[in-house]
Amino acid sequence: MKTYAVSFLLFLQQVSLGGLFALSVTPFRQLERGFYKSTAGVLVLISLLALWGKVDLYLKAETGPQPFWTTLDLSIFLLFCVCIVLYLISLWGERVRIRARAFSLALLLGILGLGLTAFNFHHAAFWSVETFLYAVSFFLSSLLLGGATVGMLIGHWYLIDTGQSLEPFLGVFRFFVVVLIVHTSFLILAPGALYLLGDPATHAGLQRLWSEHLLLLGARLLVSQAGPLVLCYMIWQTLKVPNTMAATGLFYIALLGVVVGEILGRQLLSLTALPL
């Protein structure tokens, strides 16, 4: 099992990647450049904090030379950070090619890096159900965190730049709702799949989950899944008015729930090595 520090750095990595995916659903020409600059700036800061922590843990490891997968994971995340920084810089000016390539490459490297990180959290063979389910779980969590973060940030932008079309806000909101429903379904079905198809180490983690951490799992599902689902209905009703200020406030609460729930999920990951 990994320490909580490693699991929390995964959380930061997921926010930065998921934020880029959520940003990609907004129509670039319909929003002021300032929105993209401020949002990308937040994502760059989060990714650099994650990189700092990863490098610090890598250099302080006491087990001798690091495994190849760990070194490769760190290298790819470093390249991801370079690409997202280049994307931010490209927003000052009309470097369209650099902007598009940096953004696309950041997405590809982020997905690859998240897959490698997922592989480092379980002990099953490479060709196993764990390799697939861990990667899917980490990716869905990333999209959920990114959708909530960008949803709150775009709502803020509507308070600054009033009178613009609601379509960009609705696009991010739809993205968040779809990801939330898919992620909730995954969390309900994944334990059964791991129980039926997982290896002995995974079964041991499930046993620890049922016997010692069931309350933590319940809190995680209530805070980050059930609560935001209710808030999504409320956000939709306020956007129909439309009242973007109220919708932004509700997105704040949804973001808080998702963040707290995902941090609880990273705690479960460190305690049981399960992607919940």
Mean pLDDT across the chain: 82
pLDDT at res. 63: 55
Distances (CA, A) of 212 to 31, 189, 204, 245, 275: 48, 20, 12, 42, 16
d(CA 74, CA 59): 11
Q: What is the pTM (predicted TM-score) of this model? A: 0.89
pLDDT at res. 225: 86
If one counts every other C-beta atom within 10 angstroms of the C-beta of residue 80, the result is 27
The sign of the CA dihedral 121, 122, 127, 129 is: negative
In terms of Cα–Cα distance, which of 95, 94, 93, 84 is closest to 24? 84
pLDDT lower than 70: segments of the chain: 1-4, 61-69, 122-128, 161-163, 198
Please state at what angle helix 4-24 crosses helix 68-90, rounded to 10 degrees. Answer: 40
Domain housing 94: 4-272
Overall number of domains in the chain? 1
In terms of Cα–Cα distance, which of 223, 228, 271, 224 is closest to 251? 228
pLDDT at res. 1: 46
pLDDT at res. 82: 92
SS3 annotation, the chain:
CCCHHHHHHHHHHHHHHHHHHHHHCCCHHHCCHHHHHHHHHHHHHHHHHHHHHHHHHHHHCCCCCCCHHHHHHHHHHHHHHHHHHHHHHHCCCCCHHHHHHHHHHHHHHHHHHHHHHHHCCCCCCCCCHHHHHHHHHHHHHHHHHHHHHHHHHHHHHHHHCCCCCCHHHHHHHHHHHHHHHHHHHHHHHHHHHHHHHCCHHHHHHHHHHHHHCHHHHHHHHHHHHHHHHHHHHHHHHHHHCCCHHHHHHHHHHHHHHHHHHHHHHHHHHHHHCCCC
Retrieve residue 36's tokens: 């993209």
